[in-house]
Amino acid sequence: MEGLIRGAFVTMSSTSVLVLLVLGMAVIVGMMRVINMAQGEFVLLGAVTAFVVQNLTGSTILGMLAAPIVVGALGALLERTLVRRYYGNPSGALLLTFAIGFLIREVVRSQMQTQSTTVTAPLPGYFTVGGAQLETWRMVIIVATVLIIAGCWLALTRTSIGLKVRATLDNPELAAATGISINAMYMGTFAFGSALAGLAGGLIVPIQTLYPDLGLNNLTPMFISVFIGGLGSLFGPLLGAIFIGLPQYGLALVISSVLAQVVVLAAAILLLRIRPNGLCGKRVER
C-alpha cells in the first residue's frame, strides 16, 4: 500500500512539474504561435534568480517571487527589441530564439563555479500518508500548479484585459480596428508567458537542482506537450502535458524510464497521425 501511494504521488507531482513548465510555453507557443526555443532558458533564468536572491537575502521564497518579475521584464524587453520583428516568420523566430537561448545558457554556464548547485526548498522535509513518506515541496508544487492554472483561466476569461488579449491573438486586424493597442497586447502576452516560465523555474529548482542545461533538458517534453495539446488555446498544451506526463511517469515505476519515454513518444506520434492539429488544436487561417 505504501508503495502504491508513493508511486501515485510521484506520478502526480512529476506531471504537475511538467504542466507548470508547459504553462508559459502554452501562452507564447500555443496562443501566440511564436516558436520560442529560448523558453527553456527562461525557466533556467527563473531558477538562477531564485538561487541568487536566496544567497543575497537568505530567503528562497523571496527568490521565487522575484523570478517571474525578472524573467517577465526580460521577456518584455526581448519582445520589443527582437521578437516582434519575426511575427509571421516562424523559421526566423525559431533561429532567433535558439540563439537567445544558447547565449543565456552559456552565460550561466560560464558564471557557475560548479556543474550543479542546490536551492533549499522553503518547506523541506516529508509528511506521511498511509505509512508512505512524501516530500512536502512536491505537494506544494501540485497545489501551486492548480492555483496558477486557475488564476490564468480567470485572468483570460473573466477580465477585460484577458478579453483584449484573446481578441488580439485571434484577429489582430479586427482588434486594432476597435482601438486595442496590438503592440501592448503582444508585449504583455509575451512577458506574461516568460514570467510563467520564470516562476516555474523558481518553484522546481529545489527538486531538480540548478545546472546550465536545466532548461534545455526540459525543452523537448515541453514542446511535445504543446503540439500534442494543439495550438490556438491555453489549455490544449496543458492537456498535452497530462497526456505525456501521467503515462510516462507512471510507466517509469514498473519499466525503465527510457522505455517509458519511448512508449509515450510512440503514442504521441500515433495521436498526431490521427489528429494532426492535436487534442484541442484548431486550424487558423492568417
Strand partners for 132: 129
Task: Give the pLDDT confidence score for residue 283 in this predicted structure.
Answer: 55
Rounded distance between C-alpha atoms, residue 245 and residue 43, angstroms = 18
Contact 166, 156 (CB under 8 A): yes
pLDDT-derived band of residue 30, with 50, 70 and 90 as boundaries? confident
pTM of the model: 0.92
Q: Give pLDDT tens digits for 53-95.
A: 999 999 999 999 999 999 999 999 999 999 999 998 989 999 9
Contact 51, 282 (CB under 8 A): no
Q: Which residues contact 222 (CB under 8 A, 6 or more apart)?
A: 18, 21, 22, 25, 39, 40, 241
Q: Give pLDDT tens digits for 138-197.
A: 999 999 999 999 999 999 889 999 899 988 988 888 989 989 999 999 999 999 999 999
Task: Give the pLDDT confidence score for residue 285 in this predicted structure.
Answer: 44
Averaged confidence pLDDT in the chain: 90
Task: Give the pLDDT confidence score for residue 232 in this predicted structure.
Answer: 78
* Helix, strand, or coil (residue 210): strand
